[in-house]
Amino acid sequence: MNQESTLKEDKITPVVVDLNAVKAGKVNEGGFLRMFGWAVETILNKMFSGGTIPVSVKGSPSQVKSFAHTLGSEKRYLDSWKRFGLDDPRTYKNKAELNRAIVKFERLTGLSWPFD
């Protein structure tokens, strides 16, 4: 493998998540929601694999906090589902917490959470 085909981590384009997209009118632009879903999926994948990805989240402090909380809730739910199965009370508890986090995130940002 030559040096040109080697991917350098410092050359990875950072993922930018703009939580003010609804206010800025960017949601109507082609592909914004698809990009948002891809960004959330990519971040979650990296959370499970332990890898790092440069990510920049734009928004008010409450929006950013809600985004982080919802991502963490999504990960806890998926971990519980994988470990205990869908019928376990711990999984139900984590799903309820995720649903509360999603409602708060959607209320603060006006964006739909890409997974349900």
71 contacts 115 by C-beta, under 8 angstroms: no
Predicted structure pTM score: 0.80
44 contacts 79 by C-beta, under 8 angstroms: no
Band of residue 12 on the pLDDT scale cut at 50, 70, 90: low
Q: Which two tokens stand for residue 41?
A: 């999926």
Q: Which two tokens stand for residue 100?
A: 């509360």
Query: What's at 111, amino acid-wise?
Result: L
Ordered by start, the domain boundaries in the chain are: 15-109
The DSSP 8-state label assigned to residue 19 in this structure reads T
- The 10s digit of each residue's pLDDT in 53-80 is 788 999 999 999 999 999 999 999 999 9
